[in-house]
C-alpha cells in the first residue's frame, strides 16, 4: 500500500531527482547552444540543426539522466503518493532558474521571480487537489 508518510530515505530520493532534473535541463541547454546560430526554415535546416545538437555530448548525458530520473521516479512512486511527491519534486522550478543564473549567466528580473513563485504555488495546489475526489 502507498503511504503518505515521508521517510528520510524517500526525501533523499526526491531531492536527488530534483537535482537530476535540473542537471538534465542544464545539459540540454548546453547542447542546444551548440546549434544556437542555426535556423530551421525547411527540412534541410532541421536535419542540420539536429545533427549539430545531437553531436554534442551534453545531449547524450542529458538523455541518460532522463532515463535515470525515470527509474528513480518509479521507485519513489512505488513508495509514496503522487500528491506528496510532486510538491517536493517541484522544487526544481526554483533550482533550474538558480542554475540558469549561476552557471548560464542568464538574468532573471524580480517580476520573473514573482512569476516563478506563482507557478510553483500553482503546481503545489494542483498536486494537493488529488485528495479532493475522496472528500467530495
Partner 1 sequence: MKFGLLFILSLIGLTSLLDTINQLFLKSAINSLQVNLSANVFKILKFVWQVILIPKVWLGGLCALVSLCIWLFVLSKSDLNFAFSADSMHYIFIAFASRIFLKEKVGFRRWLGTIFIVLGIVLISIS
Residues that bind partner 1 (CB under 8 A): 25-26, 28-29, 31-36, 38-40, 49-50, 53, 59, 63, 70-71, 74-75, 77-79, 93, 96-97, 99-101, 104, 106, 108-109, 111-112, 114-129, 132-133, 136
Q: How far is the CB of 84 from partner 1 (least distance, A)?
A: 15
**Nearest residue (CB) to partner 1, 15 versus 72:** 72
Q: CA triplet 53, 67, 94: central angle to 5 degrees?
A: 80
Query: How far, CA to CA in Å, does 68 sit from each of 24, 37, 63?
Result: 10, 31, 9
- Residue 20's CB is within 10 A of a number of other CB atoms, namely 17
**Nearest residue (CB) to partner 1, 11 versus 114:** 114
Q: How far is the CB of 45 from partner 1 (least distance, A)?
A: 10
Amino acid at each position: 500500500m502507498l503511504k503518505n508518510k515521508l521517510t528520510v530515505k524517500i526525501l533523499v530520493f526526491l531531492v536527488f531527482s530534483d537535482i537530476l532534473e535540473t542537471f538534465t535541463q542544464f545539459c540540454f541547454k548546453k547542447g542546444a547552444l551548440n546549434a544556437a546560430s542555426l535556423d530551421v526554415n525547411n527540412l534541410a535546416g532541421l536535419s542540420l540543426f539536429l545533427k549539430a545538437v545531437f553531436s554534442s555530448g551534453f545531449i547524450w548525458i542529458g538523455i541518460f539522466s532522463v532515463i535515470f530520473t525515470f527509474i528513480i521516479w518509479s521507485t519513489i512512486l512505488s513508495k509514496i503518493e503522487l500528491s506528496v511527491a510532486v510538491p517536493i519534486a517541484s522544487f526544481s522550478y526554483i533550482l533550474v532558474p538558480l542554475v540558469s543564473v549561476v552557471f548560464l549567466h542568464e538574468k532573471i528580473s524580480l517580476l520573473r521571480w514573482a512569476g516563478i513563485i506563482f507557478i510553483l504555488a500553482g503546481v503545489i495546489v494542483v498536486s494537493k487537489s488529488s485528495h479532493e475526489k475522496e472528500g467530495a
